Structure 1
Amino acid sequence: MAFVALSAILFTQCSKEDENTSGGYDFMDQTAQGMIEGNTWTLKSGSATMSNWDDGQFSINLFEIESDFPCIDFLGGDQVFFSIDTVVGIYQLNFDLSGGTGQTVTIFQESTVMNNIATDGAVEITEIDRVNGVIKGKIDARFDSENYINGNFEVAFCDILSENYEFKNQDAQGKIGGTSWTYAKGVAEDSYFSPGEIEITLTTENAVDLCLSWFDGDKITFEVPKQTGVYQLRDYWSGDDENYSVSIYSSSESSTDVATWGAIEIIEVDELGGTISGRIDATGGSDNFINGYFEVAICE
């Protein structure tokens, strides 16, 4: 994901010399907060993924930007990130210059591209909830008097959440390009590229016969097998043979966001009545998501 790659890039940028020589740790019972380059900083959202470099570690990012989808949204700004073992426990910060190993926390300022590598303090992982996709912990990371973080954190466990979905009992609705969107009518046509699959388009259009109409407004499109079942959305790079995704097109921005979180359920294929009904839960970020029921016309 974007933030994982960002963490790796940021770590290689410039960093100041560590000025803090005090040891030990003292976790404060508060939302993680502190200072970055002399500016106050407070945790608003966070994410955790399995590390790309070590299967036994999490990569955790703490952001000062609030987001309902921290695993999907690209969040910039000053931030704190670190890798840590996937086991509940306390990990004291340290760095072995001779071996180039240790447990550190990077305190990053975006405007100066400054990485301050904290080696004083500790991080505690207090809970790993693999059902609800949440990781909780505490942090006391100190670099100097202008760069330090202390308090509690709770972040989204992205590897678990990416497998979760929840269909809401409502007509399909959500946001496209940050604007509220509600489904009106849609169509299903045989896929041009994948035999045995159908391409479904959901729109706000109320035309009498969408099969004979061209709709260029905000719309949702996806391809799934022409049979009942639940189809999990997955990233193209997931390695899974079945990589279903949802394209969310914003006409005002002339752009398409691809949702790879969630699922689509085809409930009924009524060839006689000429309709397909189903449910969708697709998330492409805070500004692009859709959830609820749909019924579309089968176009011959």
Structure 2
Amino acid sequence: MKLTSKALFLCIAILSFGCGDDDTDGPSYDFKDQVAQGSINGQSWTFVSGRASISEEQLSIDLAADSDAVPCEAFSFAGLKIFFTVDNKVVLTELFFDLENFDGKTATFYDPDDGEFGLNIIAVEGAIEILSITDNEVKGRIDVRDGHDNTSSVNGNFTVEICQ
């Protein structure tokens, strides 16, 4: 019995000390210097148009591949898109979701053709960085993934019009 207990303790100790800390592996994102592109729900996607709604505290941003969209016209984006809300400032926001405290920063991939009401896929891995905010536009970069099978992941740069 003592030998079994010692062997079990030794295995647990090796596993505990052998597991690396994820924080030492570097950031959870790696921005590519390209137009934002990737896939949403397994379908190829490249950023074409977008918009930002701005408040004193937050930026709400929509990114779409729809070349016919009128950015500041409500419901003008058709097809696959990504949307997210970040702080209204030049800042890097790492994505996370804390189910225990109902807290987090996420991005949502949207596929309008999957199911009766479309499919929202929540991205909880990666980051969004706002590089500049002017009176007319927001520039940023994004590296986000769904975190499961990664059939939805987008990386690259974007510039969107601010809509009032």
TM class, shorter-chain normalised? 0.7 to 0.9
**Which segments of structure 1 move beyond 2 Å, counting only runs of 4 or more?**
none
- What's the counterpart of residue 91 of structure 2? 89
- What's the counterpart of residue 158 of structure 2? 153
Task: Kindly state the Cα deviation for residue 67 of structure 1 after the two structures are TM-superposed.
Answer: 4.2
Higher strand share: 1
Task: Kindly state the Cα deviation for residue 101 of structure 1 after the two structures are TM-superposed.
Answer: 1.4
2:145–2:153 CA contact under 8 A, matched in 1: yes
How many aligned residue pairs are there?
132
Picking from 41, 60, 63, the partner of 1:37 is 41
Matched letter for residue 95 of structure 2 = L
Matched letter for residue 83 of structure 2 = F
- 1:60-79 deviation digits (Å, cap 9, x = unpaired): 00011014731116112110
Pairing of 1:1-300 with structure 2 (within 5 A): 24-50=28-54, 55-67=56-68, 69-72=70-73, 74-112=76-114, 113-130=118-135, 133-143=136-146, 144-159=149-164
Higher helix share: 2
- What's the counterpart of residue 196 of structure 1? none
Task: List alignment gaps of at least 5 residues for structure 2.
Answer: 1-26
User: Identity of paired residues, percent?
Assistant: 41
**Which structure's CA Rg is the greater one?**
1
Task: Give the TM-score normalised by structure 1.
Answer: 0.42
Larger RCO: Structure 1 or Structure 2 (Cα < 8 Å, ≥ 6 residues apart)? 2
- 1:184-226 deviation digits (Å, cap 9, x = unpaired): xxxxxxxxxxxxxxxxxxxxxxxxxxxxxxxxxxxxxxxxxxx
Matched letter for residue 81 of structure 1 = F
Task: Give the TM-score normalised by structure 2.
Answer: 0.76
Alpha carbon RMSD of aligned pairs, Å? 1.5
The separation in 2 between residues aligned to 1:67 and 1:86, in whole angstroms, is 28
